[in-house]
Amino acid sequence: MLPILAFLLLVASCAGEENTTPRPKGYSRLEFPKRVNQRFQLDKCNYSFEQPNYVAVELDPYPNAEECWYNVQYLPFGATLHLSYKPIKNREELFLLLNDSREMVFKHVMRADQIVENYLNTPQFHGIFYELDGSTATNAQFYVTDSTHHFLRGSLYFNSRTNQDSIAPVLAHLKKDVIHLINTLEWKN
């Protein structure tokens, strides 16, 4: 009878305790700003595109940046889309630009879980939108060209080291913005 009484006392003493299992830190709930797109005209450059109202577009401050290289700053998300525009002079230059773009994507192959190539074809241009999954410095890159006069390359980077799990919703949101930029791209001849 004593063992039954001891067991009942033990069960009764544990019944009032709270669960003390440590919980992992959570991430803040993200409130995405409403997209209101507007056309961004580049005075001296041969391209324009639509951008959401929560971005800032500025000339690339890198000392070796060329005249029509811009950074699209996604201010609420701490991310930057680096845009590099090059006029195409001849077929050889186009092939060099295509090769450089591919090399810049596949430099990340050691850290990427996978690289998905999404082919882009419209009456104005063709290109590839690359999605890089895994612990890479960049998660999305693209190039578009009309094959005769214009070539635009873009690379999306977060401004600080990121945890893939924590940026997944933001990255999905930004990829939609980048795809919209590509789909609204217009060349000036």
Listed by start position, the domains of the chain span 39-187
Q: What percent of the chain has pLDDT over 70?
A: 82
pLDDT band, residue 107 (cuts 50/70/90): confident
- List, in order, residues 6 or more apart from 97 with CB less than 8 Å away: 86, 88, 143, 145, 151, 153
What is the structure's pLDDT at 110?
Answer: 81
Among 7, 25, 5, 24, smallest CA distance to 15 is for 7
pLDDT of res. 178: 95
Coil, helix or strand for 50?
A: strand
Fold type of domain 39-187: Protein Transport Mog1p; Chain A (3.40.1000)
Q: Which residue has the higher pLDDT, 11 or 140?
A: 140
pLDDT score of 18: 58
Question: What does the block give as tokens for 20?
Answer: 């003390």
Predicted confidence band of residue 136 (pLDDT cuts 50, 70, 90): confident
Average pLDDT rounded to a whole number, residues 93-101 = 95
Q: What average pLDDT does the chain have?
A: 85
Give the per-residue pLDDT at 15: 57
Residues 7-61 pLDDT 10s:
655 566 655 555 666 656 665 667 788 889 999 887 788 899 999 999 999 999 9
Q: Which DSSP state fits 73?
A: E
Angle at 156 between CA 39 and CA 54, to 5 degrees: 40
Given a contact cutoff of 8 angstroms between Cβ atoms, the answer to whether 105 and 115 are in contact is yes
Q: Between residues 108 and 27, which one has the greater pLDDT? A: 108
Res. 189: pLDDT tops 90: no
Backbone φ and ψ for 115, nearest 5 degrees, come out as: -125, 120
Average pLDDT over residues 92-109: 92
Q: If you ran DSSP here, which 8-state letter would residue 90 be given?
A: S
State how far the Cα of 153 lies from the Cα of 97, in Å rounded to an integer: 9
pLDDT for the residue numbered 188? 85
Predicted confidence (pLDDT) at residue 143 exceeds the cutoff of 60: yes
pLDDT at 76: 87
Res 163: pLDDT: 66
For residue 119, the model assigns a pLDDT of 96
